[in-house]
Amino acid sequence: MRLLSKILWLLAFLAASFCWMVLFEHGFSMKGFSHGVQEEWQTLTEMVSTKEAPASKDTPVNPPPRK
């Protein structure tokens, strides 16, 4: 029974952290929150489901030199 309570506390912590992250990044309005949850959840599921690193497809092989 203790293990179940630890798992539930962990899930509650992860959900609260996700909500706070969305609120701070997308604004403290219902429109911003609802759009942010969809956007961040999609990004999270893409990171978990893809086999390659998420940053590798956007990063050029040879970046241009700095001026």
pLDDT digits (tens, 9 = 90+) for 32-63: 999 999 999 999 999 888 766 555 566 657 76
Q: Is residue 32 in some structural domain?
A: yes
Q: Is residue 12 in some structural domain?
A: yes
Q: Is residue 37 in some structural domain?
A: yes
| Cβ 46 vs Cβ 54: under 8 Å | yes
Amino acid occupying residue 23 = L
Distance of alpha carbon 33 from alpha carbon 40, whole angstroms: 10
Distance of alpha carbon 56 from alpha carbon 20, whole angstroms: 27
Residue 62 carries which DSSP code? S
The total domain count for the chain is 1
Range of the domain at 31: 2-43
Q: Is the pTM of this model over 0.85?
A: no
Q: Is residue 35 in some structural domain?
A: yes
Using the structure block, give the residue that is written with the tokens 């990171």. Answer: 47
